[in-house]
Structure 1
Amino acid sequence: MFLDPYFDQAGKVMEMPPDHLKIVFSIFMTYPYAYLYNRLPNNPNIKHLYSIVLTCVTMLWFHRIYEGFAHIIISSIITLVVTKYYKDKRMPWVNFVLLMIHMSISHIQRQRQGHLGDDQFDHTGPQMVLVIKLTSFAFNVFDATQPSEKLTDYNKTMMVREFPSLIEYYGWVLFFGGFIAGPANEYMDYKRFVTMEVFRDANGKIVRPSATKATLKLFAQGLFFILILATVAPHFSYFECLKPWYLEMPFWKRFLFIQAAGFSSRVKYYAVWLLAEGACVLCGLGFNGYDKDGKARWNRVSNIRPFTYETGESIKVLLESWNMRTNVWLKNYVYLRVSKGKPGFGATVATFATSALWHGFHPGYYLTFVSGSLVQNVAKKLRRLVRPFFFTPDLKHPLPTKRIYDLYGYIASQSSINMIAGPFLVLELNGSLRVWKSVYFYVHVAVFVIEGLFAAGLGKKLKEVQKTRAEKAGVQLQEIKPRDDKVIVSEVGVEFADEGGVRVGKKKLQ
């Protein structure tokens, strides 16, 4: 391709792989694509065809990913055939398994070629996004055949009552907004957007609010993180932790370096996800109704909240703010489908396994996910058993000491995630363990000590103290049972929002 020499030269100057520059360029190009998209005739078929042509040109001509693009088409054909012709209650699960196997083959092929992480762009990234879309679609088609009482409100909103035409189906599959790196979008969201139904007001008129401000905000944030990615991030990498100069530093400097490496590793995700979301918003796909003040909301396909993440004071907040569209998928199409209204260990394991397999087979992924689930479990216990002591006995008002708890929560949560995320980037087993060893496995040691204290009776003692404290204040504490409608699903585990409040204070009956 005639542009390749320019990307090669720019890569040398900026010390970045040309592939990475081409990905950024492709995402930037979705903005003029979106601008033109908004000026197409209000004909869904023209819009479908526009996306199909753009994505084909991008993958086949610009990136020259021929075999990989064939894999993407094969995945889409699998779902098309299974959902249209296999009329059985097992249909969505058959589709799910076939797609996961196909994607696993792609992951294994990439791994056997010696690629680590995103060192070279290929079809596996878009295929991962597509798996989210296609597995969701199969369940949506199946839901249209089920009694309403069996479905959640979310299921009812996304069910597919009318099977799409071929051009409509591939217009959605190959929609240029978010195709390369996400965000994934549901078929019914796409259909309502492309037909303009999402903008229909209470009077039946189609009124599309301006997306300019929301788009510029996302675009500016994306540029900000690209600037950091190009200037600061290269100096703080987990791979630097494998070099002799790093190991020669005192522990406190290594600890601080790990924190900087964690932030630097997130920057590329911030940049790509925010820019991709901005293009979707510019098209109109991000519209999510109006808030109580009548202002348009553009967060329907939000995938990341950088500020919330970087200021998060608990593991729960961090996980809720990261890769949000994947979390929506894991919740609605894995956990809730397996649990069937009965929260349990089996559904949690199935969710965790799906997330791990979806990412691939590098040992680093599993080191990060397993460690993340252990940290999440400990954080959940601490929040349930320690946090109430920083509130009034009725749990309604925070005490002045709550600020100390929040500060501790911020430091503990951020430093835990920054350490356990190392293998997610390094991927190779020995290198991952060396990164952790360089800081003495401080997260795992903390988890072991805290779990040991709970096993020795600390948890029981804290519950007794809580109860005594409440009784002295004339308050009765009630345990809240987990509820599926309050489930919080992330890439490393499952927990319930109910446990955030732990218990509810109620006045004793006189």
Structure 2
Amino acid sequence: MAVTAGTGQTLLQETAEALGSSEAALRLILSIFIGYPLALFQRWYLFGKEAHLTYLFHIITGLLLSYFNFGYQMCHFLLCVVLQFLILRLMGRTITAVFTSFSFQMIYLLAGYYYTATDEYDIKWTMPHCVLTLKMIGLVFDYYDGGKAQDQLTNEQQQFTLPSVPSFLQVAGFSYFYGGLLVGPQFSLKRYQKVAEGTMTDVKGQRPNSLMPAAKRLSLGFIYLSVYAIISPYLPDSYLLTDQFLAQPFWYRCVYITIWGKIMLYKYLTCWLVTEGVCILTGMGYNGMDASGRPQWDACANVKVWLFETTPLFTGTIASFNINTNAWVARNVFKRLRFLGNKIISQAAALLFLAVWHGLHSGYLICFSLEFLIVVLEKQIIELVHKSPLLTQLTSTPALNLPLYIAQQSIHWLCMGYALVPFCLFTWDKWLRVFTSVCFIGHVLFFSLLLLLPYLHKVLVPRKERKVE
């Protein structure tokens, strides 16, 4: 029963208003932080016990967290888990099972997007459901691969294959594990089983020495949360659509989009860092030993903080951001399209999948189309710099390192913010208004480079280098 304040509002509603947040957002952040006491309970009372106790603990706590956030809409999640288990049991290791699971889970998710769609970013049941969709599709792929001969599998696939059909407790526990329930990260059922069995640890038979690694990620999460909470009120998405924004000078609008895009991503970093700490506490984050024999705890890392903050490359930001989801798409979409024989087509298909998986708004498609274009262009520019003696010399000059880095970072984050505009504003009328306000600067830059790069290649790359190609 909700605690009601004197004004008729619940305590959560009043707290959310005081913090300048929505009640749904406050419920989400509380649910993420609750993972720490749950993980400590699991460490002290369930480690070394029978695995089914851990599965039951995850199912019960996951159901409670689902109800706390989404009420009876949690039934959508439960229905898809039960049906996924039935698909595995009744269809077995068949391509039919893979096709059925992929189609059902994606159609259910997209139907959820369609029936709950608004023009704003809402925290609703489809948010954890998109995480579940990847889990369920990955699960059927791993089970299907388990029926193949070892020589038919890549080394990567061998790490995830399931030798036997999982029980309902395993599938449900895997789906409802509090460390990955609401915002990820993605992990395999095989890894999850090892956590429940107590074998995902740096010291065999003992609890993982993961308290300090978990505390470090939690601390980083607090830092990003603080920065976002302090700065984001001064950089609201809604300001981009105001007449006041349009009245600002062109340079101001570009700088605003650049800084806004960077800060906007901090809310994702906050959630991922906090949940990563929860996963580390349970042992889920254990990733073997490094060359020096020290344990690594980055198996559930969804962001590489140092790379994210320092890379001047768009591809560097992609490599540092939403890592587990990108790895899932690379493994289960991009690499499974190898039979097409064309990396560009496979990459485009993977980005199209990501766009659709995020939602039905046009903004997602525009965002990932821009990402694809920027990645292609960046690779061509890097190749040109490496093959051109003049550009290689300029970029290797120590005196130019800092100015070039600043210029590259500025362009990098302007392009990033530009691509994030449709991602955050969703509908075509909104993102088109913002693009128009900055004279489509991103599109002008990207398509100009697309046309100019072949000519620059002819001018700046020696004929001998071109012949080698």
TM-score using structure 1 length? 0.85
Give 1:64 shift: 4.2
Report how far residue 346 of structure 1 moved: 3.8
The one-character-per-residue Cα deviations of 1:342-361 (angstroms, maximum 9, x if unpaired) are 33444233212211110111
Matched, 1:289 2:288: yes
1:466 to 1:291, Cα distance in 2 relative to 1, 3 A:
farther
Q: How many residues align?
A: 459
Counterpart mapping for 1:119-268 below 5 A: 119=122, 121-199=123-201, 205-268=204-267
Aligned match of 2:333 = 334
- Counterpart amino acid of residue 467 in structure 1: E
Output one character per residue of 1:180-205: Cα deviation in whole Å (capped at 9) or x when no partner: 1111211011011211223376xxx4
**Contact residue 387 and residue 405 of structure 1 kept, 8 A:** no
Question: What is aligned with 1:48?
Answer: 55
2:444 matches 1:445: yes
State the distance in 2 between where 1:465 and 1:198 align. Answer: 55
1:34 maps onto 2:33 in alignment: no
| Aligned partner of 2:465 among 445, 464, 467 | 467
Residue identity opposite 1:46 in structure 2: L
CA contact (8 A) 1:338 1:347 kept: yes
* 1:338 Cα deviation after fit: 1.6
- Give the Cα–Cα distance (whole angstroms) in 2 for the partners of residues 306 and 313 of structure 1: 14
Pair 1:161–1:239, CA change in 2 (3 A) = same
Q: Which residue, out of 88, 98, 102, partners 1:96? A: 102
- How far 1:71 moved relative to its partner? 1.3
Give 3-state SS (helix, strand or coil) of 2:462's partner. helix
State which drifts further: 41-50 or 86-95: 86-95
CA RMSD between the two structures: 2.3
Question: Does the CA contact (< 8 Å) of 1:309 and 1:317 recur in 2?
Answer: yes
What is aligned with 2:116? 110
1:19 aligns with 2:24: yes
Shift of 1:437: 1.7
Q: Are the equivalent residues in 2 in contact too, given 1:209–1:296 (CA < 8 A)?
A: no
Is the alpha carbon distance of 1:238 and 1:436 closer, same or farther for their aligned partners in structure 2, counting shifts above 3 Å? farther
CA drift at 1:464: 3.1
CA deviations on 1:395-415 (whole Å, 9 max, x unpaired) are 9x9553565554443222221
User: Is 2:361 the counterpart of 1:362?
Assistant: yes
1:264-314 Cα offsets, whole Å, 9 max, x none, are: 211111111111111111111101111122221110011112332122111
Residue 391 to residue 289, structure 1, CA distance change in 2 (3 Å): farther
Sort the Cα spacing of 1:375 and 1:346 in 2 relative to 1 into closer, same or farther, 3 A.
closer
Describe the superposition over 1:145-196 as per-residue Cα deviations: whole angstroms up to 9, x where unpaired: 1122221111101000022222122111111112011112110110112112
Instruction: Identify the structure with the greater helix proportion.
Output: 2
Q: Distance in 1 between matches of 2:104 and 2:244?
A: 47
User: What is the deviation of 1:115?
Assistant: 5.2
Asked whether the 8 Å contact 1:422–1:435 carries over to 2, the reply is yes
Q: Secondary structure in 1 aligned to 2:324?
A: helix
Residue 71 of structure 2 is matched in structure 1 by 65
Shift of 1:8: 0.9
Find out whether 1:423 has 2:430 as its counterpart. Answer: no
Q: Check 1:83–1:466 CA distance in 2 against 1; reply closer, same or farther (3 A cut).
A: farther
Q: Is the contact between residue 388 and residue 460 of structure 2 (CA under 8 Å) also seen in structure 1?
A: no
Q: Deviations over 1:427-482 (max 9, x none)?
A: 12111111122222111111121112135x333444435728xxxxxxxx966xxx
Amino acid at match of 2:319: E
> Does structure 2 conserve the Cα–Cα contact (< 8 Å) formed by 1:364 and 1:429?
yes
**Structure 1 SS opposite 2:209:** coil
Is the contact made by 1:391 and 1:399 (CA closer than 8 Å) also made in structure 2?
no
Corresponding residue for residue 473 of structure 1: none
| Paired letter, 1:327 | N
Q: In structure 2, the residue corresponding to 1:63 is in which secondary structure?
A: helix
Equivalent residue number for residue 372 of structure 1: 371
Per-residue deviation, residues 13-52 of structure 1 (Å, max 9, x unmatched) = 1211111111111111111111111112322111111111
Q: 1:307 maps to what in 2? A: 306
Amino acid at match of 1:320: A
Deviations 1:358-411 (A, max 9, x none): 011111111211122111111111011124447998x9x955356555444322
**Aligned match of 2:269:** 270
Amino acid in the other structure paired with 1:265: M
Equivalent position amino acid for 1:138 in 2: V
What is the alpha-carbon distance in structure 1 between the residues aligned to residue 151 and residue 461 of structure 2? 38
Distance 1:431 1:170 in 2: 40
Q: In the alignment, which residue of structure 2 is the partner of 1:8?
A: 13
C-alpha deviation, 1:93, in angstroms: 2.8
> Which residue of the partner structure matches residue 321 of structure 1?
320
Following superposition, the deviation at residue 245 of structure 1 comes to: 1.7
The residue type equivalent to 2:28 in the other structure is I
What secondary structure, in the 3-state scheme, does the structure 2 residue paired with 1:421 have? helix
CA contact (8 A) 1:238 1:435 kept: no
Report if aligned partners of 2:119, 2:426 keep a CA contact under 8 Å in 1. Answer: no
Query: Do 2:352 and 2:368's aligned partners in 1 also have CA atoms closer than 8 Å?
Result: no
Sequence identity, in percent? 23
CA contact 1:238–1:258 (8 Å) conserved in 2: no
What secondary structure does 2:294 align onto?
A: coil
| CA 345–388 in structure 1, closer or farther in 2 if over 3 Å, else same | closer
d(CA) in 2 for partners of 1:19, 1:108? 20
Q: How does 1:383-394 map to 2 (within 5 A)?
A: 383-389=382-388
Q: State whether residues 98 and 140 of structure 2, in contact with CA within 8 Å, keep that contact through their aligned partners in structure 1.
A: yes
Distance 1:414 1:390, change over 3 A: farther
Distance 2:321 2:189 in 1: 22
Report what 1:351 is aligned to: 350
Contact 1:79 1:134 in 2 (8 A): yes
